[in-house]
Amino acid sequence: MSLYTLTPKPGFERYTVQVGWNPHRTYVATVVDFTWDPVTEPDRQPDTVHLGRFETILDPAEVLAAVEPYADISADLPARLRADQAAHPARR
């Protein structure tokens, strides 16, 4: 499995943004605000993204498009994700 933590864009520093390849079946992406406290911030619901938990995603462009509003994506990341998939193909 690969997992890359991306640098948040300005304004989204509270978020942890990750993408990767899970050789069990899918690319994965998460955007989570671990600092959010529902007790002290009940009126502010943070954005949350979880891809690849229940659905199969075989194109890295799909997970990268989901996290692009939140994080900087390096030019080589799509190729690294494809290489991870090629090195560890989906198990059947």
In this predicted model, what pLDDT tens digit does every residue of 52-84 receive, in sequence order?
A: 999 999 999 999 999 999 999 999 999 999 999
Range list of β-strands (E), 23-92: 26-33, 49-51
Does the residue 92 lie in any domain?
Answer: no
For residues 77 and 13, what is the distance between their CA atoms, to the nearest angstrom?
20
DSSP state of 12: -
* Across 10-22, average pLDDT: 96
For residues 38 and 44, what is the distance between their CA atoms, to the nearest angstrom?
8
Q: What pLDDT score does 92 carry?
A: 61
- Structural domain containing residue 35: 2-87
For residues 78 and 60, what is the distance between their CA atoms, to the nearest angstrom?
6
pTM of the predicted model over 0.95: no
Question: How many domains in the chain?
Answer: 1
pLDDT at 91 over 70: no
